[in-house]
Chain A
Amino acid sequence: MDMTPPDKKMKLVMVGNGMAGVRALEELLKLAPDMYDVTVFGAEPHPNYNRILLSPVLAGEQTVDDIVLNPLDWYSENNITLHVGKKVVKIDRTHREVETSDGMRVGYDRLLLATGSNPFILPVQGADLPGVISFRDIADVDAMVQASSQYQHAVVIGGGLLGLEAANGLMKRGMQVSVVHIGPWLMERQLDEPAARLLQKSLEEKGMKFLLQKQTAELVRGESGRVCAIKFKDGDSAPADLVVMAVGIRPNTELAESSGLHCNRGVVVSDTMQTFDPRIYSVGECAAHRGIAYGLVAPLFEQAKVAANHLAQHGISRYQGSVTSTKLKVTGIDLFSAGNFGGGGQTEDIVLSDPVGGVYKKLVLQDNKLVGACLYGDTVDSAWYFQLLREGRNIADIRDHLMFGQSNLGDSGHAGQNKAAAMTDEMEVCGCNGVCKGTIVKAIKEKGLFTLDDVKKHTKAASSCGSCSGLVEQILSSTLGGDYSATPAVKPVCGCTERTHDEVRAAIRDHKLLSIPDTMKFLEWRTPDGCATCRPALNYYLISTWPGEARDDAQSRFVNERVHANIQKDGTYSVVPRMWGGTTNASELRRIADVADKYAVPMIRVTGGQRIDLFGIKKEDLPGVWADLDMPSGHAYGKALRTVKTCIGSEFCRFGTQNSTQMGIDLEKAFWKMWAPHKVKFAVSGCPRNCAEAAIKDVGIIGVDSGWEIYVGGNGGIKTEVAEFLVKVKTAEEVLEYSGAFIQVYREEARYLDRTVHWMQRVGMDYIKKRVLEDEAGRKALYQRLLYALSVEKDPWAERVKDGVAKHEFEVFSV
């Protein structure tokens, strides 16, 4: 007698135990772990493995065990019923059942087809002979390894990515390898001719032979019954004990077609990855989305995420297609291509060619945007180019430097000056968290990581200041090939939502949302109350869009902004009072000295921002310290106006043309208490000698004899960026108005945690000029909105000292 209660879970069946399908299950388990009873059928006798890494396995650089992504334990731990070595041959859509070749039937409520592709086999005589294989799965690799130990001559048909990786592996296994290719040059779908010639040359130097523009006529049967030679249409022939066909793949739609699902070069799916039968989903190489079936994992993983989202009934995410890029996984060869690298039509090319040095780079531009790139020999900047391409960023302002790479834009700072491939395992990649290259490579291989986010989470590399992100992306692509790291161009705010920063901002503005819970409800947040990433962003968007009306939620602010001091590694705080424009006086200094004595302040420092910092203050003492100092908050802890650095200027300096100190004081007094997407720093110098370093500030002002020059978008931090000239004005009032208007556009439109430079790189200087210079009424309105927003802010220290705001923050319960 069966006493178990009827099972209320829905049944999900997945056909195809490969990379895309299993990724969809992983995503689904994250979102709705208990929603489905899951059954998986895989035709191969293996758990899910990293197909991409078959190339290094063939080359003897890794083993089959190394590349397993989900061991059998993973399936059992997640209560997934796995049938390996079982092929599904029929879908009975009326009864909602699938049937395997050995007659097993399993019912489903939802079905996920992830059957991948089949290698295309040339329809020539002898194609079915022993010794003729393709390069798709572990069985193929086993067959190649086996053949390499017995035979001499290998022929690879197809000079594309897969063919060259097969040829390279077989060569490493000691075979003599010829690559037969019908096209005029190798990898014509990924490379233009000059790059392909360089590639061919270096592969030839490694010992590979090429038979270009040859068409296969027949594979010849030898005495043993095994293939022994290849014949071409032009009458030539070559010996062949092993023939690997790598001439392309075809979406595996056999099962879908036989069950009457609409297919057209793939199983046709909607933006939610549903087939024409809405109970049936499809992801991976078998699926055709908007007419495209992708053959690289990055887009497939995006599809997997969307399908999982829909299966979990969140139903908010859509797949919109992907831009892909290519890398060849042959050790010692650096090659990258993406987008429309061929050029033609309305495009322009920038080319750098050094055939002797083995370097070739071609960038294809259209309408001031990068639309394609093809790099050979030096791919250090591939991640950067790929990002520019996906984001469609306007490159007019950096066009003359574009070819020379990211590190030549502002040639200092810590970002991206290293070359991943040239680094040894012991070399440090992430300076913040002390993570070496070897650790990252190991994590990628052992834990099956594919994206920058994965690496951040598992190794902590690139998770702090982020300046090594580009380097980590390079390591990802050189370890895995392909475009694993390709994060979508427009990212959601965090894992709690599918919405992008811009979408959230627009919703808050257009629907007058005034609190975080309202915003989350309106935008269907996945989590009940967000996380430490989205809440601070939402809070900023609310208060900057609706100053004085939206609720400023202290609990959604990072500790520093909640407590109005900087937390230190030991849990104490630092206190930095305002010293307007870097000026102070005897009575302030005396009070600072008294506070230092009274609270036994362990360290006093003059900061890099021209003011004084008291370190090591206990949280309970903060209100007392503020009261005794009787100076306003310096906001050294906030995404807010920090310092206005000044030089001495015309009052004392023999070169001074303007009173820069007073200008700085005026600016600081006008704009302090200003919250922003990130911190904002100003500086004012009295002459072009620029002692206040105005050229590396968010807003830098330089006095000249005839007025003031305003520069914007500088940054002296992680990656030094020189500010760009915006305008020259005559009066101090104009300095306030123009710089205030600039900052207000930034406050209203930048994404949370963008410094001014990051935002400007996205929107372009022309846009800034249009808003701030060309539109006078608009500028004045911007400036007024800024002044209004500032008028509702109070000095947070005074509020806490005098009005007892947030008392609970500073008192402990002693029991």
Chain B
Amino acid sequence: MSNWIKIAPLSEFPQQGARVVRHDGKDIAVFRNAGDGVFAMNDKCPHKGGPLSQGIVSGNTVTCPLHGMNICFDDGKALAPDEGCVGTYPVKVEEGVVFLQI
């Protein structure tokens, strides 16, 4: 448990964008925002399962590409008035490399 998995250099992640990490048949969206914060959550919108990794990233949220729900990186919760929550994962950047704890 709780071991950090090395993913890739931060430079491989587009600013204000995301990359998909596939682990054990499951997709995890790893986001990098404009301030170089890195966040990870299941790549599945709580509304109808839209791929969050494909959304527009602004501030600490991503807008789901299917019906526009806004999900906050900090806690995986949908911004009001929408409701819903998606699982998040710890991430860290060490010496320019992104690690994910699954």
> What residues make up the interface of A, taking CB atoms closer than 8 Å to B?
457-458, 460, 463-464, 527-532, 535-536, 554-556, 558-559, 563, 567, 569-571, 808, 812-815
Residue in contact with B48 in the complex, picked from A463, A530, A559, A569, CB distance below 8 Å:
A569
> In the bound complex, what is the Cα–Cα distance between A567 and B49 (angstroms)?
13
Residue in contact with B81 in the complex, picked from A458, A530, A554, A558, CB distance below 8 Å:
A458
Chain A residues with CB below 8 A from B67, complex form: 460, 464
Do the beta carbons of A532 and B7 come within 8 Å of each other?
no
Taking the nearest CB of chain B, how far is it from the CB of A508, in angstroms? 19
Q: Is B20 engaged at the interface, CB distance under 8 Å to the other chain?
A: yes
Residue in contact with B54 in the complex, picked from A460, A536, A567, A813, CB distance below 8 Å:
A567
Q: What mask results when residues 31 to 48 of chain B are scored 1 for a CB within 8 Å of chain A, else 0?
A: 001110000000000001
Do the beta carbons of B58 and A529 come within 8 Å of each other?
yes
Do the beta carbons of B22 and A815 come within 8 Å of each other?
yes
Chain B residues with CB below 8 A from A814, complex form: 21-23
Q: Tell me whether A532 and B68 are in contact in the complex, defined as CB-CB below 8 angstroms, given that A813-B22, A815-B7 are known contacts.
A: yes
Do the beta carbons of B63 and A815 come within 8 Å of each other?
no
Do the beta carbons of A531 and B63 come within 8 Å of each other?
yes
> In the bound complex, what is the Cα–Cα distance between A530 and B100 (angstroms)?
28
> In the bound complex, what is the Cα–Cα distance between A532 and B62 (angstroms)?
8
Q: What mask results when residues 66 to 99 of chain B are scored 1 for a CB within 8 Å of chain A, else 0?
A: 1110100000000001000000000000000000
Do the beta carbons of B59 and A563 come within 8 Å of each other?
no
What are 14 sample pairs from A and B whose C-beta atoms fall under 8 A apart?
A464-B67, A527-B59, A528-B35, A529-B34, A529-B59, A567-B54, A569-B66, A571-B51, A808-B13, A812-B20, A812-B21, A813-B8, A813-B21, A815-B102
Taking the nearest CB of chain B, how far is it from the CB of A564, in angstroms? 13
Do the beta carbons of A567 and B66 come within 8 Å of each other?
yes
Residue in contact with A808 in the complex, picked from B12, B70, B81, CB distance below 8 Å:
B12
Chain B residue nearest to A528 in the complex (CB)? B59
Count of residues in B whose CB is under 8 Å from the partner chain = 37
Do the beta carbons of B59 and A813 come within 8 Å of each other?
no
Taking the nearest CB of chain A, how far is it from the CB of B33, in angstroms? 8
Do the beta carbons of B65 and A559 come within 8 Å of each other?
yes
> In the bound complex, what is the Cα–Cα distance between A812 and B35 (angstroms)?
23
Chain B residues with CB below 8 A from A536, complex form: 56
> In the bound complex, what is the Cα–Cα distance between A457 and B70 (angstroms)?
11
Chain B residue nearest to A556 in the complex (CB)? B56
> In the bound complex, what is the Cα–Cα distance between A458 and B67 (angstroms)?
14
Chain B residues with CB below 8 A from A813, complex form: 7-8, 19-22
Chain A residues with CB below 8 A from B5, complex form: 815
Chain A residue nearest to B82 in the complex (CB)? A457
- Give how many A-B residue pairs fall within 8 Å (CB-CB): 81
> In the bound complex, what is the Cα–Cα distance between A460 and B83 (angstroms)?
12
Taking the nearest CB of chain A, how far is it from the CB of B42, in angstroms? 13
Chain A residues with CB below 8 A from B23, complex form: 814-815
Name B3-36 residues within 8 Å CB distance of A: 5, 7-8, 12-17, 19-23, 27, 33-35
Do the beta carbons of A532 and B63 come within 8 Å of each other?
yes
Other than the given A529-B33, A532-B63, A532-B70, 8 more pairs (CB < 8 A) read: A535-B56, A556-B16, A569-B48, A571-B49, A571-B51, A812-B27, A813-B19, A815-B21
Chain A residues with CB below 8 A from B34, complex form: 528-529
Chain B residues with CB below 8 A from A558, complex form: 56, 65
Taking the nearest CB of chain B, how far is it from the CB of A753, in angstroms? 14
Taking the nearest CB of chain A, how far is it from the CB of B83, in angstroms? 11
Do the beta carbons of A812 and B58 come within 8 Å of each other?
no
Chain B residue nearest to A813 in the complex (CB)? B21
Do the beta carbons of A529 and B16 come within 8 Å of each other?
yes
Which 10 pairs show the lowest CB-CB distances between chains A and B?
A532-B63, A555-B16, A532-B56, A559-B54, A559-B65, A571-B51, A812-B20, A529-B34, A813-B21, A814-B22
> In the bound complex, what is the Cα–Cα distance between A554 and B56 (angstroms)?
10
Chain A residues with CB below 8 A from B16, complex form: 529, 555-556
Taking the nearest CB of chain B, how far is it from the CB of A542, in angstroms? 15
Chain B residues with CB below 8 A from A570, complex form: 49
Taking the nearest CB of chain A, how far is it from the CB of B100, in angstroms? 8
Chain B residues with CB below 8 A from A563, complex form: 54
Chain A residues with CB below 8 A from B20, complex form: 812-813
Chain B residues with CB below 8 A from A555, complex form: 14-17, 56-57
Residue in contact with B19 in the complex, picked from A464, A571, A808, CB distance below 8 Å:
A808
Chain B residues with CB below 8 A from A535, complex form: 56, 58
> In the bound complex, what is the Cα–Cα distance between A100 and B16 (angstroms)?
52
Chain A residues with CB below 8 A from B57, complex form: 555
> In the bound complex, what is the Cα–Cα distance between A457 and B16 (angstroms)?
24
Chain A residues with CB below 8 A from B66, complex form: 567, 569
> In the bound complex, what is the Cα–Cα distance between A531 and B67 (angstroms)?
15
Chain B residues with CB below 8 A from A569, complex form: 48, 66
Taking the nearest CB of chain A, how far is it from the CB of B89, in angstroms? 12
Do the beta carbons of A532 and B58 come within 8 Å of each other?
yes
Taking the nearest CB of chain A, how far is it from the CB of B92, in angstroms? 15
Chain B residues with CB below 8 A from A463, complex form: 68
Chain B residues with CB below 8 A from A571, complex form: 49-51, 54
Chain B residue nearest to A560 in the complex (CB)? B65
> In the bound complex, what is the Cα–Cα distance between A530 and B57 (angstroms)?
9
Chain A residues with CB below 8 A from B21, complex form: 812-815
Residue in contact with B55 in the complex, picked from A460, A527, A559, CB distance below 8 Å:
A559
Taking the nearest CB of chain B, how far is it from the CB of A556, in angstroms? 7
Taking the nearest CB of chain A, how far is it from the CB of B65, in angstroms? 4
Chain B residues with CB below 8 A from A808, complex form: 12-14, 19
In this complex, the member of B5, B23, B63, B100 whose beta carbon has the largest number of chain A beta carbons within 10 angstroms is: B63
Chain B residue nearest to A517 in the complex (CB)? B34
Chain A residue nearest to B15 in the complex (CB)? A555
> In the bound complex, what is the Cα–Cα distance between A808 and B10 (angstroms)?
12
Taking the nearest CB of chain A, how far is it from the CB of B29, in angstroms? 10
Taking the nearest CB of chain A, how far is it from the CB of B80, in angstroms? 8
Taking the nearest CB of chain B, how far is it from the CB of A443, in angstroms? 9
Chain A residues with CB below 8 A from B27, complex form: 812
Taking the nearest CB of chain B, how far is it from the CB of A334, in angstroms? 31
> In the bound complex, what is the Cα–Cα distance between A460 and B33 (angstroms)?
27
> In the bound complex, what is the Cα–Cα distance between A201 and B94 (angstroms)?
80
> In the bound complex, what is the Cα–Cα distance between A630 and B16 (angstroms)?
31
Chain A residues with CB below 8 A from B51, complex form: 567, 571
Do the beta carbons of B22 and A531 come within 8 Å of each other?
no
Chain B residue nearest to A814 in the complex (CB)? B22
Taking the nearest CB of chain A, how far is it from the CB of B9, in angstroms? 11
Chain A residues with CB below 8 A from B13, complex form: 808
Taking the nearest CB of chain B, how far is it from the CB of A521, in angstroms? 13
> In the bound complex, what is the Cα–Cα distance between A528 and B36 (angstroms)?
13
> In the bound complex, what is the Cα–Cα distance between A464 and B8 (angstroms)?
37
Taking the nearest CB of chain B, how far is it from the CB of A61, in angstroms? 26
Taking the nearest CB of chain B, how far is it from the CB of A494, in angstroms? 11
> In the bound complex, what is the Cα–Cα distance between A528 and B50 (angstroms)?
26
> In the bound complex, what is the Cα–Cα distance between A815 and B65 (angstroms)?
25
In this complex, the member of A529, A530, A556, A813 whose beta carbon has the largest number of chain B beta carbons within 10 angstroms is: A813
Chain A residues with CB below 8 A from B15, complex form: 555
In this complex, the member of A457, A569, A815 whose beta carbon has the largest number of chain B beta carbons within 10 angstroms is: A815
Chain B residues with CB below 8 A from A460, complex form: 67
Do the beta carbons of A457 and B7 come within 8 Å of each other?
no
Chain A residues with CB below 8 A from B48, complex form: 569
Chain A residues with CB below 8 A from B102, complex form: 815
Taking the nearest CB of chain B, how far is it from the CB of A129, in angstroms? 48
